[in-house]
Structure 1
Amino acid sequence: MNVSDKSVDVVVVGLGAFGSSIAWRLAARGISVFGAEQHTISNSFGSSHGLTRNFRSISQNHTLLYPLALLSRELWFELEGNSSNTLLTQTNALIMGQKDKGLIASALAVVAKYGINPRVLEAADIRRQYPIFGNITDEDIAIVDELGGMLFPEKCVTAAANAATRHGADLQENVEVFGHSLDGSGLVVQTSNGDIRANQIVYATGAWTAELLPRLKLKSLRIPQCWFTYQHDSDATPSLADLPPFQRDLGNVGRLWGHGAAQLGGLTKLGTHGDPTRDRNVYTNNIDRAVHSEDVAHLSKNVAHSFPNVNPVPAKSKICLLTESVDNQFVLGPVGDPRVFVASGGSGQGFKHATGVGEIVADMCQGIKSSIDTGFMHAQRMIEPPNGAAVAQRPTSPIS
């Protein structure tokens, strides 16, 4: 259907985890929404795929993320209640590392700020309860996040899009948005299906945002997602009972995260932070989607160190895109012009908070003060004093 001459309150560009959640939360308030996705709703080209995502409430990225995690969790369960699929499985999650250092120190700051009283496993407890972990030192502990668990991203995105549609949003697949222009008091959004008029536009374009809105200084990164089996039995893999969702601080060599197989016949998913190849910027219109040996060398080294019974060579891998902000916090809100919004900067922590981000951005579009502190996420902090409205446009060359 051609969208020419269509007029709505808000256009949402990109219908991954953020965009589908924003469309849902706006439409649920009676706001007229048009959503455009350049691929299909739920696809493997961006950041919202890979079968599972860890969910944790005790986030080490910022102490103020805890209220957002609780909001997101509430909304995931609300969304699940209107879906035929399980979206969030609560399993508990582990935060592991040396006492009072790194991840543990950050987690303890959250615990102290919000009066949480989590279980703490000493090294001997970890060895007894989770023998799959290797090289546990006597200084290691694990904090148990009892609200932790797993999300199923493809199902989550589809559920949010379906909820938005039920509330009246017009969501269209295989429609490109080339940018917008200002027209009197409103916006004209240029799409591959014609122009559409809107009062506001939200760019929830993931890794593509770095090129669409370069003022935000975002980086688009190409990250392999990897799945593993046991070392001596390629037909078997650690289960969730063996390996619950976890983050493990390895000191100077980085961090590991992952979980055991989410279902019978599934694979164990493991990933890393601190990979020396991780900071390679990519141009999103020219992405190498093959996974090469150098992409997984650092991860395999850490898997061999931390899981001696797991084959360090991935049984399966797939490229995922990640959008990183300069301070590793979300980038949400108006950009220059008060009618132009962005929802980006997931920095590896985005999916678990997607429903909460949808609620925050819906509040911002309506000029409503959020129930949680969002100051550290505001997009304006990324921009020099504006000298005019931000106008997104199709890029002509990679951003260095």
Structure 2
Amino acid sequence: MEHVDVLVVGAGSIGAMTLWQLSQRSDLKVVGIDAYPRMNLNSSYAGESRLFRTIVKEGSLFNEHVDVSLDLWHELQDFSSQSLLHQCGMLSIGPPEIDDIRVTRELAEEYDLPHELLDPDELFSRYPQFSPDSHDIGILDTRGGVLRPEVAVAAGQLAAERNGAQLHFRTKVTDLTSRAEGVEVTTTNGSYLANHVVVAAGSWTSRLLPELGTYVEARPIGSTWAMPHDINQFKPDVFPGFIRDRIHEDGEESHWFGVPSLDGYSIKIGYYPEPSEERVDVNPDEDLRKYSTEQLSFVGEMVQKCIPDLLPSPVRHEMHHDTYASNQMPIFDRLEADDRVLYAAGLYGVGFKFTTSYGKMLTEMVVDGESQLWRDEFSLAAHDPLT
């Protein structure tokens, strides 16, 4: 049985960044285990892009994660010589009274976060691609932009390996057993004895840690791409990432998100209906990347209402998944039965932007026993069981 200092289960979003951070500690023997290929097309990080927001409407407790993650994204970008982050800006659009817009504005002003406030005329003049309502305002997060998740995960994995970490793919962890001398990690290709284990298995977490099954669930997340008439108006140098909220005449609210063109012919744009209040657990091993013809027709109609220049038929689409927990907060905690096991779960579909700082946080919790980046709101005790 091979002895290691730290074993990370999962080499995806959080796992790759934790491995990268751990690998910079030259005194540690670090191993990463992932059940899937190096690039898992059915992973939670699939989908070409993720929004990067530095004005985080989920709350000021993420402000420090913003600064740390931004520095680390630049560091990984320099180390890997890959383009990971396009800081093209992140634009929030909507009526000033809607909760997300109000909170975003309050946070930006209270903490003096870099931003520009655009009135309806300025919004339309600066970004005529949209069709803002007469009372809409825009809040431009000038440090925000778009991340390339597949490229970023690969960069984190490769950086960890360059620093001496061992990564093993297509290897499944089947059991964790507490021993006096360490945690025995059983895999399909042998066993390890680890001083510390970090479980960053994403939507597969509750399979290895069934005690988390009542606290997290895997939900499907759809992505669609639409083609504009003039792609030059949607490239990162002129078009930001965006979130658009709208109140319709019947009082219903709608929510869009989108990113500039990264492929040269289309933009990623999604329309969010109201989330289900019931559990909707999906099997992350199944191929989820399918929309029905009716859904595509509906999405096409809706996205054209947000950006009139878009053709009303999506040119491609896919489904991925992520784990959700209560309180719209991720969970980072130690296993009650064995505090040598740390776990991360419940990124709520919005956590990729902070994976670098989460990796740093988990590394500090392993090496130093605690981290200034950890918050009480991240504990399992702060979450209610899902119903």
- State the partner residue of 2:256: 256
- State the partner residue of 1:366: 367
- State the partner residue of 1:196: 192
Q: CA deviation at 1:58?
A: 0.6
For 1:213 and 1:140, locate their aligned partners in 2 and report how far apart those are by CA, in whole Å: 45
For 1:297 and 1:377, locate their aligned partners in 2 and report how far apart those are by CA, in whole Å: 39
AA matched with 1:198? A
CA contact (8 A) 2:327 2:383 kept: no
The alignment's C-alpha RMSD in Å is 2.4
- Is 1:71 paired with 2:72? no
Q: CA deviation at 1:46?
A: 0.9
| CA pair 276-374 structure 1, distance change in 2 beyond 3 A | closer
Q: Which moved more, 1:179-188 or 1:9-18?
A: 179-188
For 1:372 and 1:56, locate their aligned partners in 2 and report how far apart those are by CA, in whole Å: 18
| CA pair 326-123 structure 1, distance change in 2 beyond 3 A | same
- Is 1:98 paired with 2:95? yes
Aligned pairs for 1:371-382 (under 5 A) are: 371-372=372-373, 374-382=375-383
Q: CA deviation at 1:156?
A: 0.7
For 2:100 and 2:299, locate their aligned partners in 1 and report how far apart those are by CA, in whole Å: 18
For 1:319 and 1:146, locate their aligned partners in 2 and report how far apart those are by CA, in whole Å: 30
- Is 1:226 paired with 2:224? yes
AA matched with 2:19? A
SS at match of 1:64: helix
- State the partner residue of 1:114: 111
- State the partner residue of 1:318: 318
CA contact (8 A) 2:242 2:258 kept: yes
Q: Which one of the candidate residues 161, 164, 183 is aligned to 1:168? A: 164
CA contact (8 A) 1:237 1:261 kept: no
Aligned pairs for 1:1-400 (under 5 A) are: 5-30=1-26, 31-116=28-113, 118-134=115-131, 136-216=132-212, 217-230=215-228, 238-241=234-237, 243-251=239-247, 252-263=252-263, 265-275=264-274, 280-293=280-293, 295-296=295-296, 299-336=299-336, 337-372=338-373, 374-382=375-383
| CA pair 170-330 structure 1, distance change in 2 beyond 3 A | same
Q: Which moved more, 1:269-278 or 1:211-220?
A: 269-278
Q: CA deviation at 1:257?
A: 0.8
AA matched with 1:272? Y
Q: CA deviation at 1:353?
A: 0.6
SS at match of 1:45: coil
Structure 1 alignment gaps of length 5 or more: 385-398
- State the partner residue of 1:394: none
- State the partner residue of 1:392: none
AA matched with 2:360? E
For 1:272 and 1:363, locate their aligned partners in 2 and report how far apart those are by CA, in whole Å: 38
Q: CA deviation at 1:149?
A: 1.3
CA contact (8 A) 2:114 2:143 kept: no
- State the partner residue of 1:395: none
| CA pair 301-16 structure 1, distance change in 2 beyond 3 A | same
Provide the TM-score with structure 1 as the length reference: 0.87
Q: CA deviation at 1:287?
A: 4.5
CA contact (8 A) 1:335 1:379 kept: no
Q: CA deviation at 1:266?
A: 3.8
Q: CA deviation at 1:56?
A: 1.2
CA contact (8 A) 1:224 1:296 kept: no
AA matched with 1:24? W
Q: CA deviation at 1:131?
A: 1.4
| CA pair 345-276 structure 1, distance change in 2 beyond 3 A | closer
AA matched with 2:171? V
Identity rate of aligned residues, in percent?
28
For 1:209 and 1:200, locate their aligned partners in 2 and report how far apart those are by CA, in whole Å: 17
AA matched with 1:183? R
Q: CA deviation at 1:245?
A: 0.4
CA contact (8 A) 1:64 1:373 kept: no
For 1:311 and 1:267, locate their aligned partners in 2 and report how far apart those are by CA, in whole Å: 10
Provide the TM-score with structure 2 as the length reference: 0.90
CA contact (8 A) 2:114 2:141 kept: no
CA contact (8 A) 1:224 1:295 kept: no
| CA pair 276-353 structure 1, distance change in 2 beyond 3 A | closer
Q: How many residues align?
A: 378
SS at match of 2:299: helix
Deviations 1:327-361 (A, max 9, x none): 11111121212111111211111111110010011
| CA pair 179-293 structure 1, distance change in 2 beyond 3 A | farther
Q: Which moved more, 1:281-290 or 1:26-35?
A: 281-290
CA contact (8 A) 2:90 2:142 kept: yes
For 2:268 and 2:201, locate their aligned partners in 1 and report how far apart those are by CA, in whole Å: 26
| CA pair 203-380 structure 1, distance change in 2 beyond 3 A | farther
| CA pair 352-274 structure 1, distance change in 2 beyond 3 A | same
Deviations 1:11-58 (A, max 9, x none): 111111100001111121232211011112222111112222111111
For 1:169 and 1:266, locate their aligned partners in 2 and report how far apart those are by CA, in whole Å: 38
Q: CA deviation at 1:175?
A: 0.7
